[in-house]
Amino acid sequence: MPAALLRQARHRLLESGELPEHSVDACLRRSWQRSLAAGLSPTGRLVAPDNLSAAQLGRALGRNHELLGHSRPIMEYLFEQVRHSHSMVVLADSHGVLIHTLGDPDFLGKAERVALTAGACWDERRRGTNAIGTALVEAAGVEIHGAEHFLERNTFLTCAAAPIVSATGELLGILDISGDQRGRHPHTLGLVSTAALMIENRLVADACRRYLRLHLHADPAGIGTVAEGIVAVAEDGWIVGANRNALAMLGLVSADIGATPIERVLDLRLDDLRARAGRQPQRSFRVHGRDGAILHASVEGQPSRPLAVVQQGAASAGDALSALDSGDARWRCAADKARRIAGKDIALLLSGESGVGKEVFARAVHDSAPQRDGPFVAINCAALPENLIEAELFGYLPGAFTGARKGGYCGRLREAHGGTLFLDEIGDMPLAMQTRLLRVLQERKVTPLGGGAEVEVTFALICATHRDLPAACAAGQFRNDLYYRINGLTLRLPALRERTDFAALCARLLDELAPAAPPLIAPALLERLAAYDWPGNLRQLASALRTACAMLEAGECRIDWTHLPDDLVDALQAPQRREAPAERPLRLDELSLAAIRRAVDEHAGNLSAAARQLGVSRQTLYRKLARVSRSGTY
Ligand SMILES: Nc1ncnc2c1ncn2[C@@H]1O[C@H](COP(=O)(O)OP(=O)(O)OP(=O)(O)O)[C@@H](O)[C@H]1O
């Protein structure tokens, strides 16, 4: 639409608060209305200076380490396509903050004047309708040209932006090409959307590298291209990650990730899927979707450990549990299920290796539940001496036994009244105590030692164990009836090595450890940490990061090898058990691609340096990248 008509329409909106039907496209109309509601005026000043400081930008880069790592090579490639067209390629995070830009020098000066530089925030509420901010709100590809921008100062721009979505459906950021509005090209949105999908496919394949991955397409030749669907499946058959192509092919939405068995959406038996994973060479095969559509599929990766059975995930609630959520699908499923039973008389049993965060999870369940204002009473059954456990749990009357407190004690169960009782290491509770506990749980009444009246108690019950309770029952070490009473719902929390959110988890832990200025982790070190087995799980990771923070000199803001405890350095440098599984001998072109990837990643996307390391010219490297990207396999 001509600029004059657009300005007229925008003027009417400002005057009357309304836009005539069909005067502008629906997405633009919504965005203008949001800009107006945010108090912006087309010719007004910016709401507030909003550039991130260097330290804040550093933290944003750390939080978006994976997004950046996978985006850089593709941005370089994209930039080659638009070089000399007075434009730039931009990557923004999920808040609209620009975290990486590549610009045509002719255009950079102009762009800088409107703050198209790293650290600037292009949130729609601050800068009005713009491709990055609007694509974030709409969660869709958007093109904003010239006078479609809400602020006059941005109308010299033409911008096309597309969202980048994680394996669990989270909007991670926006890829954008911005240029001089006189140089608008009809294919820019298509180009940027394809590049965003390429980044997304790399992110999904990387985040789900420990799961079986089905690559899908309606045409066998489409497998391995940017148009393929990728769906990750845990060993017990539940979908734990997918790209947007796969969701569309399977008729799913992102909330179905972690809540849908693969057998429900494809006529594919889990045994068959596992068997195919081990088969060499890989060949594509036909499957039917639930609407009967034929898809072609190939399988990659190794079966992983099972995912606890989950149902339809509840929406994230902005509660204490979601504050702990750093993006792992299994963890999120566990949190969703725990939310569902909150406030109901259903006992929760948490299982998982030592240090996976069972107690931290239990506290968050309490803080997210209706009884959150009541007490949270945690008892470690393994730590209580056997002769004191009864008194500690059930309380006692004055003088009930030698050494008792003078005035008696109400006991931990009564202390939990109106709140949550957390029994850690329940598998280590002595058998005699199990009998008494079962009675309390059934009757909801406590009788203190030494006699006295029964007292009614009400609490939500959460138990945790790293022992195999059914096996302990079979061995006569744990009462069957107690097991059934405490096991209203069992949730298994994933071990750290099984999680797909390592970088985001570290960023969250560092935010907690050093809230004033959370440090970053050097990218090469972060990669080594992510590949480590972490036998002590989150306890070990949190402790290592705590030590590393303490080792930083004043003013230092990057954690590197020298800041880590020596034993961890030794463990990290020892050969890792969990190397990528050798699936089949690599072909020559794959080896060359692997070398290119490594070099580009090692040089943080700097293609000149990568080309030098590879001993090829920059042009040759571009050619190889272009070929790889055309074949969609980068
Ligand atoms: N989500 C989390 N955020 C921050 N720190 C965590 C988190 N989960 C665990 N930790 C760290 O790990 C430590 C161990 O967590 P927690 O006691 O909850 O694990 P656990 O699974 O109950 O271990 P165990 O089975 O040995 O009792 C915590 O003290 C904390 O330092």
Helical H segments across 289-447, by residue range:
320-324, 329-341, 358-368, 386-394, 412-415, 431-443
Q: Residue 358 C-alpha to ligand 1 middle, in angstroms?
A: 6
Cα 64 to Cα 66: distance, rounded to the nearest angstrom:
6
pLDDT digits (tens, 9 = 90+) for 173-183: 999 999 988 88
pLDDT digits (tens, 9 = 90+) for 207-249: 887 788 999 999 999 998 999 999 998 877 888 889 999 999 9
* pLDDT of res. 164: 96
Q: What is the pLDDT of residue 373?
A: 87
Residue nearest to atom 4 of ligand 1 (CA): 509
Higher-confidence position of 306 and 294? 294
Which stretch of 40-54, 382-396, 453-467 has the lowest confidence by average pLDDT? 40-54
| Beta carbon of 359 within 6 Å of any ligand 1 atom | yes
> Which range among 3-7, 110-114, 339-343, 358-362 shows the weakest confidence by mean pLDDT?
110-114
- Integer-rounded Cα radius of gyration of the chain: 28
- What is the pTM for the complete model shown? 0.58
**Comparing 114-128, 258-272, 391-405, which segment has the lowest mean pLDDT?**
391-405
Kindly report the CATH number that applies to the domain delimited by 320-494. Answer: 3.40.50.300
Q: Whose CA is nearest to atom 17 of ligand 1?
A: 359
Contact 546 CB / ligand 1 (< 6 Å): no
Note whether 622 and 614 are within 8 A (CB).
Answer: no
pLDDT at 311 over 70: no
The residue nearest atom 7 of ligand 1, judged by CA position, is: 357
CATH number of the domain at 588-630, out of 1.20.120, 1.10.15, 1.10.3470, 1.10.10?
Answer: 1.10.10
Interval 142-200: pLDDT, tens:
999 999 999 988 898 899 999 999 988 889 999 999 998 888 888 889 999 999 999 99
Instruction: Give, rounded to a whole angstrom, the gap between the first and last alpha carbons of the chain.
Output: 38
pLDDT band of residue 576 (cuts 50, 70, 90) is low
User: Topology of 497-573 in CATH?
Assistant: Helicase, Ruva Protein; domain 3 (1.10.8)
**What is the amino acid identity at position 552?**
L
pLDDT for position 217:
95
Comparing CA positions, the residue from 448, 455, 456, 453 lying closest to residue 407 is: 448
The Cα-based distances of 201 to 74, 139, 576, 630 in angstroms read: 12, 17, 26, 14
Mean pLDDT, to the nearest integer, of 405-422?
A: 85
Rounded alpha-carbon distances, angstroms, from residue 367 to 247, 379, 415, 422: 33, 17, 17, 13
Q: How confident is the model at residue 130 (pLDDT cuts 50, 70, 90)?
A: very high
Q: What pLDDT does 237 receive?
A: 83
pLDDT over 70 at 364, yes or no: yes
Structure-token match 């038996």, residue found: 269
Distances in Å between the Cα of 516 and the Cα atoms of 55, 86, 118, 503, 526 are 11, 40, 22, 19, 21
d(CA 319, CA 335): 10
Among protein residues, the one whose CA lies closest to atom 24 of ligand 1? 354
pLDDT band at 560 (very low <50, low <70, confident <90, very high): very high
Instruction: Provide the pairing of β-strand 294-300 with 212-217.
Output: antiparallel
Decide whether any atom of ligand 1 lies within 6 Å of the 538 Cβ.
yes
Architecture of the domain defined by 3-187: 2-Layer Sandwich (3.30)
Please give the share of the chain, as a percent, with pLDDT higher than 90: 36
The rounded Å distance from CA 403 to ligand 1 centre is 34
Q: What is the spatial distance between Cα 336 and Cα 330, in angstroms, rounded to a whole number?
A: 10
C-alpha dist (Å) from residue 418 to 343, 415, 461: 11, 9, 11
Write out the H or E segment, with its range, that includes residue 32: helix 26-37
Lowest mean pLDDT among 302-316, 352-366, 578-592: 302-316
| Distance (Å, whole) CA 131 – CA 129 | 7
* Substitution candidate for ligand 1 out of 363, 367, 466, 538 with most atoms within 8 A of CB: 538
Instruction: Indicate the pLDDT class of residue 432, thresholds 50, 70 and 90.
Output: confident
376-380 and 348-351 strand pairing: unpaired
Atom 25 of ligand 1 has which residue's CA nearest to it?
354
State pLDDT tens for residues 539-553: 999 999 999 999 998
Residues 245 and 229: their CA atoms lie apart, in Å, by: 5
Average pLDDT of every residue of the chain: 83
| Equal fold, 208-300 vs 497-573 | no
User: Would you identify the CATH topology of the domain 208-300?
Assistant: Beta-Lactamase (3.30.450)
Eight-state DSSP code of residue 409: B
CA 577 to ligand 1 center in whole angstroms: 24
Query: Position of tokens 């730039």?
Result: 88
Q: Choose which residue among 359, 366, 428, 508 to substitute to test ligand 1 binding: the one with the highest number of ligand atoms within 8 A of its C-beta.
A: 359
What ipTM does this complex have?
0.97
**Which one of 262-276, 287-301, 352-366 scores highest in mean pLDDT?**
352-366
Residues 422, 377 contacting (CB under 8 angstroms): yes
Query: Is ligand 1 within 6 A of the CB of residue 125?
Result: no
Residue owning the nearest CA to atom 8 of ligand 1: 357
Band of the pLDDT at 628, cuts 50, 70, 90? Answer: low
Structural tokens at position 314: 């509840």
The CA 539 to ligand 1 mean position distance, Å, reads: 5
Q: Is 472 in the pocket of ligand 1 (CB under 6 A)?
A: no
**Is residue 631 predicted with pLDDT exceeding 50?**
no
Whether ligand 1 lies within 6 angstroms of the CB of 542 is answered as yes
Report CA(534)–ligand 1 centroid distance (Å). 13
**What does the domain layout of the chain look like in residue ranges?**
3-187, 208-300, 320-494, 497-573, 588-630
Q: Judge residue 364's burial from the number of C-beta atoms within 10 Å of its C-beta, 0-12 exposed, 13-18 middle, 19 or more buried.
A: buried
Distance of CA 537 from the midpoint of ligand 1 (Å): 8
Mean pLDDT to the nearest integer, 410-433: 89
